[in-house]
Amino acid sequence: MDTMFSNAPEPQAVCNPSTRSAIFMVAVLGTGANCADAVRDWCGDVAAITRSVSKRSPDGNLSCVCGLGSAAWDLVCGTPRPAGLHPFREFGSGDRAAPATPGDILLHIRAEDMGLCFELARELVLRLGDAAKVIDEVHGFRYFDQRAMIGFVDGTENPIGRVLVNSTIIGDEDAPFAGGSYVLVQKYLHDMTGWNALTVDAQEQIIGRTKLSNIELDEGVKPSWSHSSLTTIVDGEREVKILRDNMPFGRPGAGEFGTFFIGYASSPEPIEQMLENMFVGRPPGNHDRLLDYSRAVTGGLFFVPPVDMLEALPKATATSTASR
């Protein structure tokens, strides 16, 4: 099935254009007996609440993507589970590690104006009540010409057009969940003092691109341990694409400078391969030198149901709940 056909399930706003502002929220389910039912009902209201807030500022490009982690899916929906949904896989060790952190629900709220993001986040959290608790919240912003905190343009190799849809939206390979997507998130904190002490040439070697013009370095010049080299995944002669909608965040007064990584794909495998290349190395030991200045502090994997499924999630049966 081509996921662009009109009879395909409608995806959530995965492929929406990047905006100037975003709020990322990760929540964990409560422990009450009715939390699973409350979260299921809340998921059915997410789209309607988003529409209500969006109507107050029609030009604000407000959208919201809602995803569920594997443990939440088992509790709320039971079986079957989306084929690629599993707990976040950790990579690396010691000071260079991609850790897994708690997370049952992910909200990715986007708009041109932070006020719109804030209003939608407020309404959604209010409606969620005690059914889940937000444990991580990041307010991201557009940094000049879509640059990361480290000063390089981010998301240059994002797919477009038909490739964008086919790279991010599940098709016949997992037909019961067609129209869905997977999203992997990590919060990175940067050592800006150490990074800014490097020469521009050294930074460009680490990233694999020129800093000002954003041109990829020639293969004969670009190191095999550059970020660009290690995050390029090739299947045969075809480069495997994912969609990144990363955002900078920070608190200058607290000395906090970071990037919220968010990657969408039709399978988590290419993103996980990128992380293995970065944190372990390709070959092992040839790790991403950006990690000498950037530290991952969170990690989560979520399934993004298509619109109709999110509005009417299946209910876990006693049998499916007991089998976990």
For 44-82, how does the pLDDT look when each residue is reduced to its tens digit (9 = 90+)? 999 999 999 999 999 999 999 999 999 999 999 998 999
Asked if pLDDT for residue 317 goes beyond 50, the answer is yes
| Residue 296 to residue 188: CA distance in whole angstroms | 4
- The residue behind tokens 């490009």 is 61
Q: How far, in Å, are 111, 120, 122 from residue 59 at the CA level?
A: 9, 15, 20
Decide: 292 and 184 in contact? Cβ < 8 Å: no
- Give the mean pLDDT of the chain: 95
DSSP secondary structure, 305-323, as one string = --HHHHHTPPPPPHHHHHT
Q: How confident is the model at residue 33 (pLDDT cuts 50, 70, 90)?
A: confident
Look up residue 137 and give its two tokens. 């919240």
- What separation in angstroms does the CA of 200 have from each of 118, 147, 211, 247? 36, 15, 7, 22
Q: Which of 88, 99, 3, 138 is nearest to 302 (CA)?
A: 88
Render 214-261 in DSSP notation, one character per residue: -PBPPTTTS-TTSHHHHT-EEETTEEEP-EE--EEEEEGGGTEEEEEE
234-263 tens-digit pLDDT: 998 899 999 999 999 999 999 999 999 999
Q: How confident is the model at residue 318 (pLDDT cuts 50, 70, 90)?
A: low
- Residue for token digits 């389910």? 29
**Per-residue confidence at 324, pLDDT binned at 50, 70, 90?**
very low
Give the pTM. 0.94
Where do the domains of the chain lie? Answer: 18-322
pLDDT class for 8, splitting at 50, 70, 90? confident
**Is residue 154 annotated as a catalytic residue, yes or no?**
yes
CB atoms inside a 10 Å sphere around CB 1: 14
In the structure encoding, which two tokens stand for residue 102, read together? 């708690």
User: How far apart are alpha carbons 113 and 110 in whole angstroms?
Assistant: 9
pLDDT value of residue 237 = 85
Other CB atoms within 10 A of residue 166 CB: 15
Residues 3, 179: contact at Cβ < 8 Å? yes
Name the catalytic one among 74, 154, 245, 288.
154
CA-CA-CA-CA torsion sign (147, 210, 193, 224): positive
